[in-house]
Amino acid sequence: MSSQFHKDLIHQYKITCNKLKKIQRVFFKQFAPNVSEVADEFGTLANNFNNSFLPEYAALCYMGQGKCEKMIGNDAAEIDALLKAARSFRAANEKQAKILVQNVSSDNLEGAFRCYTQALSRLPDDSVTKAAIIRELKEINPNVEITSNFSSPSHRIWDLERSAEENIQTGDFVAAFDKLTEIYDDVTERRCEDLYLEVMERVEVSRLLLLCLLQLPPSVRYDHKFIERYSSIGESNSKHSGNGILSEELFFLLQSLVISCQAKDVASVIAVRDELSHCKQLTESQQLLLKQLVSKYFK
């Protein structure tokens, strides 16, 4: 995109902002002409700025669109515009981080935070949308103290899995295992595994790696039937493939890992680790568990 085109877009943005200011000046006199048209102009400009890789300006346009929708009384459209603004601010922050390795300004994240909180203020506590916005907000500010009364299996799974990830990062493997087991039990008790196949795969792999890392004796081992699926070789066991959750290849690699750990065969553990490290299915936390598992056997 040429710099002149960018200048023209910014000039059009300023013209549209002036239109909004004029509307705001007369709005309280019960006369608000062309508010919908100005909202549409902001929306079009936002798309143009996004297409021109200028998300910071797109965010400002979405904010302007949100103000227009608020004056019209269109709550849903206002919230939608605010969320688009927040996400554009985040995109602008990511863009800045790629260009500037150091001294990245916090202005864009602050803009995203303001837009998220404005959107939240327009929603009831038991709204599914509010719960989803809180998720996004906590991605930029994990310590924010905002909660929602909305609860569903998918939201509860997300919270438990994220908490387990944090436990893994801090080395609290027992707490991580307990939370992942809670997810597993919840889904299997409701017999809805087909709805959560990706989640169940992640939980299956992480729980197994945690058990290998914890090295609990049989008397205190969690869910011994679970680990037994991976600790014996034979036709009767090959049909499990993680109870249909894992691919056959991943199942047999994990089976090899468990048997190698039980035999305390460090060379085999490392060999299986090397193969598993190339599996695209494994998450970052699972790769971390693999590294810690090898370190444990090297001691």
Burial of 58 (0-12, 13-18, 19+ CB in 10 A): buried
18-37: burial string, b at 16+ Cβ within 10 Å, e else: ebbeebeeeeeeeebeebee
Architecture of the domain whose range is 3-140: Alpha Horseshoe (1.25)
pTM: 0.57
Residue 210 binned pLDDT confidence (cut-offs 50, 70, 90):
very high
- Rounded Cα gap, residues 292 and 288, in angstroms: 6
Q: What is the pLDDT of residue 150?
A: 65
- Rounded Cα gap, residues 123 and 129, in angstroms: 8
- Could you tell me the residue ranges of all domains in the chain? 3-140, 153-298
Q: Taking a C-beta distance cutoff of 8 angstroms, is the pair 285, 209 a contact? A: no
Does residue 174 carry a pLDDT above 70?
A: yes
Does residue 69 carry a pLDDT above 50?
A: yes
Residue 240 binned pLDDT confidence (cut-offs 50, 70, 90):
very low
Does residue 202 carry a pLDDT above 70?
A: yes
DSSP 8-state symbol, 194: G
Q: What is the pLDDT of residue 2?
A: 60
Section 267-277 average pLDDT: 88
Which residue stretches of the chain are H helix? 3-27, 35-51, 55-72, 75-99, 107-121, 128-140, 153-170, 173-189, 197-214, 224-231, 235-238, 248-262, 266-276, 284-298
